Amino acid sequence: MKGKITQKLVDGSNPQTRPFEIRDTELKGFLLRVQPSGIKSYICQYARGKRLTIGSADIMTPFQARELAKEAMARYLTTGIDPMQQRKVEKAHTFESFVTEKYKPWIESNHSRPDDTMDKLEAWYPVIGDVKLSEITAWPVEKLRSAWLKSGVNPATVNHKIKYLKTALNRAVAWGCLQKNPLSSVKPSKVDNRSVVRYLTDEEDTRLYEALDAREEKHRQERKNYNQWRKERGYELFPEYSDNGFVDHLKPLVLLALDTGMRRGELFNLKWTDVAFDRNMLTIQGKTAKSGKTRHIPMTDEVFDILKRWSGNGNKSEYVFPSADGGIMNNIKTSWTRLLKKAEINNFRFHDCRHTFASRLVMNGVDLNTVRELLGHGSIEMTLRYAHLAPVKLATAIATLNIGKSVSNKNGKVNVA
């Protein structure tokens, strides 16, 4: 059977009682094989009697498979290296060696946060790191998932961990190192995406601002006292903190999180080139955003003022909030924990600043789709967790059901006008 192998042809190729193949009319040696079980695979016949399975049609598009077939044929013709022999070597990969030797270089070129992705994958090494790709099963993953859930790990966190693993194995399938993802049967745990979110109350908000101000004043006074001590001994003095600036990154960082809803990683990766004072606009670059998509956040007067004051602190780095060596900051845990203790705020993560930003918007009547755009959510589903914070709108919507209704008789029947 022959025909140009397109997605339409692949989808319409129904399994029969015996395996059958369709030869591509565009690229000689490129085939689609359909098994009675319904499994569809792309095949590359690179020489007489020599074949190579490119990958599963469930994972790859015909275009992707055809390009890989071209590469295999060209490599065989120009180097003489047999792709099947090379495949046998590749199939000998353990999960750890596959990630380290093949997947990691791809991650570094295609992921916005490669280190974060690698951390998630390396967490699986104790479980399946030394297991051959072809021998990985769903059982150890399901077993670990159950242990996590029983220990109190949030189902969404568990899903996130498994998602990284499944994505890596999907890539192994796409590259022909696996025939089928062994975790395809592992379904996500049920997650309540509309659970009550943690955000600052008015009282907590006041205490947080007071704690930030107190911290600034404390550092300024300590610097003055230390300089006085050095002056009395004839030592060189340290620069005094400006009354109009900030003593360090913490206060401007926290205020921006509360006023823009930016994620911690987005704040850490923010560069001065992303700050447009002339247009009152912040740009979150797609390569640093969780969604992978660029978004723009208008600056309020407070955000504008904070960044203007912070820009005058003598920061020479390209990053708005750099580390001590001028690179990307990666941790504020100690200073953040101390701040919350001073403000007497419990059970509040830095990420909850983002929830506070979104909650305030909704409570002030901003529609959920606008909130979604400002937060950079890929779908409205994630934003719906804030819907309950608009009680007036919800009550108004329900009240419309009463319009036109009247009780007509003592039998309790309701007539709608």
The least confident of 89-98, 261-270, 283-292 is 89-98
| 257, 262, 264, 266: CA torsion to nearest 10 | -140
Positive or negative torsion for Cα 44, 45, 47, 52: positive
Going by the DSSP 8-state scheme, the letter that residue 113 receives in this structure is -
Q: List b or e across 163-174, with b for residues whose CB sees 16 or more CB atoms inside 10 angstroms.
A: ebbbbbbbbbbb
Mean pLDDT check: name the lowest of 213-222, 282-291, 352-361.
Answer: 282-291
Please give the CATH superfamily to which domain 202-387 belongs: Intergrase catalytic core (1.10.443.10)
* DSSP-assigned letters across all residues of 219-237: HHHHHHHHHHHHHHTTPPP
Contact 81, 92 (CB under 8 A): no
**What is the C-alpha separation between 247 and 220, in angstroms, rounded?**
7
The helix/strand/coil state of 312 is: coil
- The rounded distance, in Å, linking the Cα atoms of 13 and 62 is 13
Q: Does pLDDT of 333 surpass 80?
A: yes
Kindly list the distances between the CA atom of residue 341 and the CA atoms of 27, 171, 252, 336, 337, in Å, as whole numbers in the listed order: 67, 45, 19, 9, 6
What would the two tokens of residue 214 be?
């107190």
Between 245 and 272, the more confident residue is 272
Report the alpha-carbon angle 336-316-334, nearest 5: 15
Share of the chain above pLDDT 90, in %: 52
List of residues 6+ apart from 99 with CB closer than 8 A: 118, 121, 122, 168
The pTM score is: 0.61
For the chain, what is the mean pLDDT? 86
Q: Which residue has the tokens 């090494």?
A: 125
CA-to-CA separations, 148 to 169, 219, 308, in angstroms, rounded: 21, 42, 45
**pLDDT-wise least confident of 47-61, 230-244, 378-392, 397-411:** 397-411
**Quick one: how many helices (H) and strands (E) in the chain?**
18, 10
Q: How confident is the model at residue 417 (pLDDT cuts 50, 70, 90)?
A: very low
Reported CATH class of domain 2-81: alpha beta
Looking at residue 390, its pLDDT comes to 75
Across the beta sheet with 281-284, what order do the strands follow?
275-276, 281-284, 295-298
Residues 315-325, mean pLDDT to the nearest whole number: 88
Average pLDDT score over residue span 123-134: 89
Question: pLDDT tens digit string along 343-371?
Answer: 999 999 999 999 999 999 988 888 889 98
